[in-house]
């Protein structure tokens, strides 16, 4: 038998696997002045400028009936409750009066009151095979909300390998069902000629059309190989943070990298691997290996191979950056070998404004 806390623990543990501990908040109770205890949501995925608000609805196995119609009726009732809770969650966050909440690393993080809020309802009920993927609004003041079964949520997360892809897909999926309704079968041809066949309402196969539109299936699969190295790199990132210029600075770096799509990850990995090779034969104190720029996201990343872990002063890098007014985030990656078998990656991170 699964109780409420157990089901939420399952959702929390699974989310941390895909979203990184730094991005997940699952203890979200607070007490407003002069009121009783409230809960913002069952779980938040916090990317800083984007927050996914997740409400989990579960059906205790003791209460599940053999009547699918009865279980669908249960889901309708629970979805109505979840939408009300989501609207309250959005208000709590946008009011800006919430206390800091611990993330999966036990760091106290203040939520961005100006963040874009993306609501999501997940239900756990093994009896329900078919369900409405969008909970439709019933008034002008209402909102449409994505609905996933827990199994479909897992499938989506396993296929989409970066937090920002998951966020973008949730938004894209909602618009798809708003525009097309309950479509049973789709054929999609991407710009590269790749053809994908999907059944949108089944097993979250619509993910493949999303990937086709963004990359083409073949390219998406090729780029997915890069993500394993990148994920391992990010999971080790906090242990490389020797000195923090501000509290929870490693969390800010994770949020920054959580916005990377597959193309950015591929380019990052190429520069990182080159820096590792260069550092093996490093004779000078340091060498500038290369850089990455993204004008739309206003960041610059500089890769340095170093003999002893020495970095380039950040003020020199910033002064040498073209169009400084367009750079809101400057990140220096320093790679050096500690011995013949082990290399280290250190970071210098500066934020000059809201990203």
> Taking the C-alpha atoms of 279, 284, 285 and 286 in order, what is their torsion angle to the nearest 10 degrees?
-50
Radius of gyration of the chain (CA): 22
Q: Give the model confidence (pLDDT) of 319-338 as tens digits.
A: 776 566 678 888 999 999 98
Return the higher-pLDDT residue of 231 and 62.
231
Return the higher-pLDDT residue of 169 and 186.
169
At 355 the pLDDT is: 40
Return d(Cα 327, Cα 335) in angstroms, integer: 23
At 268 the pLDDT is: 94
At 247 the pLDDT is: 64
Q: Give the model confidence (pLDDT) of 233-265 as tens digits.
A: 776 665 555 444 556 677 888 899 999 999 999
The answer to whether residues 343 and 279 touch, using CB atoms and an 8 Å cutoff, is yes
Q: Give the model confidence (pLDDT) of 196-244 as tens digits.
A: 778 888 888 899 889 988 888 888 888 888 887 787 777 666 555 544 4
Most confident among 9-18, 109-118, 174-183, 312-321 (mean pLDDT): 109-118
Q: Give the model confidence (pLDDT) of 262-276 as tens digits.
A: 999 999 999 999 999
User: Residue 179: helix, strand or coil by DSSP?
Assistant: helix
Q: Is the dihedral of CA 319, 323, 325, 326 positive or negative?
A: negative
Tokens linked to 82: 């979840």
Distance in angstroms between the alpha carbons of the first and the last residue of the chain: 44
Average confidence score pLDDT of the chain = 85
Per-residue pLDDT band for 44 (boundaries 50, 70, 90) equals: very high
At 336 the pLDDT is: 92
Residue 203, phi-psi category: left (phi > 0), alpha (psi -120 to 50), beta (remainder): left
Among candidates 75, 210, 208, which has minimal Cα distance to 149? 75
> Taking the C-alpha atoms of 190, 151, 48 and 261 in order, what is their torsion angle to the nearest 10 degrees?
-30
Among candidates 330, 263, 274, 262, which has minimal Cα distance to 304? 274
The answer to whether residues 43 and 15 touch, using CB atoms and an 8 Å cutoff, is yes
What are the residue boundaries of the structural domains of the chain, listed by start? 4-160, 224-351
Return the higher-pLDDT residue of 16 and 245.
16
At 348 the pLDDT is: 86
At 309 the pLDDT is: 86
At 119 the pLDDT is: 94
Side-chain half-sphere CA neighbours of 70 within 13 A? 6
Report whether pLDDT(2) > 50. no
Question: pTM of the full predicted structure?
Answer: 0.88
Tokens linked to 65: 């009936």
Tokens linked to 204: 């979250």
Q: Give the model confidence (pLDDT) of 126-153 as tens digits.
A: 888 889 999 888 776 778 999 999 999 9
Q: Which CATH class is domain 4-160?
A: alpha beta
Q: Give the model confidence (pLDDT) of 151-185 as tens digits.
A: 999 899 888 878 999 999 999 999 999 998 888 88
Return d(Cα 151, Cα 204) in angstroms, integer: 9
At 248 the pLDDT is: 67
At 147 the pLDDT is: 94
List the Cα angle 274/164/221 in 5-degree steps.
60
């Amino acid at each position: 038998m699964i109780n409420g806390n157990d089901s939420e623990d399952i959702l929390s543990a699974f989310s941390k696997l895909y979203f990184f501990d730094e991005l997940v908040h699952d203890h979200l109770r607070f007490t407003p002045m002069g009121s009783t205890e409230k809960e913002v949501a069952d779980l938040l995925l916090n990317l800083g400028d984007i927050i996914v608000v997740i409400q989990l609805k579960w059906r205790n196995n003791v209460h599940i009936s053999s009547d699918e119609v009865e279980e669908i009726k249960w889901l309708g009732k629970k979805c109505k409750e979840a939408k009300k809770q989501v609207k309250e969650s959005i208000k709590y966050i946008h009011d800006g009066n919430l206390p800091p909440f611990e993330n999966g690393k036990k760091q106290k993080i203040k939520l961005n009151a100006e963040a874009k809020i993306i609501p999501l309802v997940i239900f756990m009920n093994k009896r329900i095979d078919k369900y409405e993927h969008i909970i439709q609004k019933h008034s002008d003041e209402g909102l449409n909300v994505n609905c996933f079964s827990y199994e479909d949520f897992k499938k989506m997360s396993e296929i989409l390998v970066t937090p920002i892809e998951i966020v973008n897909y949730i938004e894209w999926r909602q618009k798809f069902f708003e525009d097309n309704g309950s479509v049973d079968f789709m054929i999609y041809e991407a710009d590269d000629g790749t053809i994908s066949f999907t059944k949108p309402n089944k097993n979250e196969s619509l993910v493949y059309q999303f990937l086709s539109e963004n990359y083409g299936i073949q390219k998406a699969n090729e780029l997915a190989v890069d993500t394993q190295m990148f994920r391992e790199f990010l999971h080790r990132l906090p242990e490389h943070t020797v000195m923090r210029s501000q509290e929870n600075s490693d969390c800010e770096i994770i949020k920054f990298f959580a916005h990377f799509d597959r193309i950015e990850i591929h380019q990052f990995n190429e520069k990182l691997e080159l820096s590792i090779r260069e550092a093996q034969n490093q004779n000078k104190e340091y060498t500038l290996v290369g850089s990455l720029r993204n004008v739309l996201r206003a960041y610059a990343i500089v890769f340095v191979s170093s003999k002893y872990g020495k970095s380039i002063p950040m003020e020199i890098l910033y002064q040498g950056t073209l169009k400084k007014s367009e750079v809101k985030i400057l990140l220096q990656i320093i790679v050096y070998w500690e011995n013949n078998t082990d290399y280290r990656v250190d970071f210098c991170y500066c934020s000059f404004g809201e990203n």
